[in-house]
Amino acid sequence: MFAILHWLLIGQTYNFAWDRFDAQYKVLDGLYRTSGIKSDSHASRPVDLAAKYGVQLPDWAKLINSKPKTSRLSIIRNELVHEAKYAGHPIGYEYPEENFGLEFVAFNLKLVAAVVGLNTKYLEAEPSNRCRYSWNFA
């Protein structure tokens, strides 16, 4: 869990959007690994994590194809990792329409809170919600 929290926090300090995206994807992969879930694709991982922990799935993580399974998140991740592209273009020349800077961090934070058993209404909040919530650590 230390590595997950480290990437969740340190990843937000990176200057470039693709670096922040990559760091948050590492958080998601770490959460997947510790969850015990066995998904058949990268695209299924956030879907399965959201279902297991009762967190609302952002639109960009929803499956858009079934064979092969893909989502906007998995497409952007695969292009970044395997083709040095971000949002369909060479890194630095385009940015995705999705608000990963807010929503990916929020999604991962909700998953972390759920994994450690925090009782908070934040887990039910919309992916783009910017409101403040109290957390019950008891």
Q: How high does pLDDT run on average in the chain?
A: 94
What's the pLDDT score for residue 138? 65
134 pLDDT more than 90:
no
Q: What is the length of the chain?
A: 138
What pLDDT was estimated at residue 48? 97
Question: Could you tell me the CA-to-CA distances from 33 to 29, 115, 119 in Å, in that order?
Answer: 6, 12, 22
Per-residue pLDDT, averaged over 30-44, amounts to 94
The pTM of the full predicted model, rounded to 2 decimals, is 0.93
Q: Averaged over 6-33, what is the pLDDT?
A: 97
Tens digits of residue pLDDT in 53-72: 999 999 999 999 888 999 99
**pLDDT score at 8:** 97
Closest by Cα among 47, 66, 71, 65 to 57? 47
CA distance 112 to 98: 22
DSSP calls for 80-136: HHHHSEETTEETTS---SS-HHHHHHHHHHHHHHHHTT-B-GGGGS-TT-------B
Check pLDDT > 80 for residue 137. no
pLDDT digits (tens, 9 = 90+) for 74-124: 999 999 999 999 999 999 999 999 999 999 999 999 999 999 998 888 998
Q: Which pLDDT score, from 0 to 100, does residue 67 have? A: 87
